[in-house]
Amino acid sequence: MAKPTVTIIGPGAIGGALAAAIVSGGGEPILVARTPFDRLRVEWPDGSINVDADCHTGVGDLTPSDVVIVATKATHNPSILPHLEACLGPESRLVIAQNGVDHLERFDPSIVGDAEVIPAVVFLPAERPGPGHVVVGKAGRLVVPSSPGAGVVASLFADTFVQVDQTDDWITAAWRKLVMNAPSGAISVLARRGPEIYADNATRELLRALMDEVMIVAAAEGARLEPDLPEKYGRCFEANAGGHTPSIVFDRLAGVTTEWRERNAAVGRIAARHGIDVPLNNALTTLIRLGEPDFGAIDG
């Protein structure tokens, strides 16, 4: 049986790693990038590829694919709409492999049409030294809601370094990651430093307090998280101080827009909907926003 056709929009660190996994499993993904490249070079702990890349920057040559994976940062979503529209057909599965919990709200139904939308929680440490070149730190996984379309997506990654887990409780999986991402990303962006800051006791106390706020919002949304999750994450950050620096820090250092809306502002917006007070999160959200290149979008 022929492999499903695949288009990956945004072959950066995550998208390039996903493309490499698909190639290693016998697929031939089409890549849509801002900066074109001829070769896709990806290294992971027990393998690598160096192959010709079917890379496109324009819309003209794109046609609908069985599976379309959006792996851009959410901040780039407005710029990819023409490409997305060209890649989607009524039988397509649209995988949104981005941070946050509000994946289903990110693209207008007029663009998505009848395509099945599959939100994905991504666990895949990877860095992009340059266009078409990605280094993967360890095997990764995508967590998606169970569905027939999710099964098609999982088939693309069978026996590769990326595992696709289907779940009937995607909300819990998404909030489990956001409990970690929103607090740690906020602190790191404002400190403009990597995870070495979590060797500091006061920093870990702030991290824990922020996580506690996000946990309350997660519970209100129906996520079933273990009560000691912040404590577990805190110990993990302490043990791994000096490890992988999140891309949100590199974005702040480069002076480009970060995913503060999808991380911390989303927590504040959802908390307000439930009448929950999250003062620490909201304070840090304001400070992050004021350091953004587009901070002119001032509240009020």
Give dist(CA 181, CA 258) in Å, integer: 13
- Taking the C-alpha atoms of residue 22 and residue 239, their distance in angstroms, rounded to an integer, is 33
User: Which burial class, exposed, middle or buried, applies to 164 when counting CB atoms under 10 A from its CB (0-12, 13-18, 19+)?
Assistant: buried
177 labelled catalytic: yes
DSSP bridge pairs for 162: 140
* 239-272 as b/e: b if 16+ CB within 10 A: eebeeeebbbbebbeeeebbbbbbbbbbbbebbe
User: Residue 268: what are its φ and ψ, rounded to 5°?
Assistant: -65, -40
Marked catalytic residue, from 73, 138, 177, 232: 177
Task: Return the active site residues.
Answer: 177
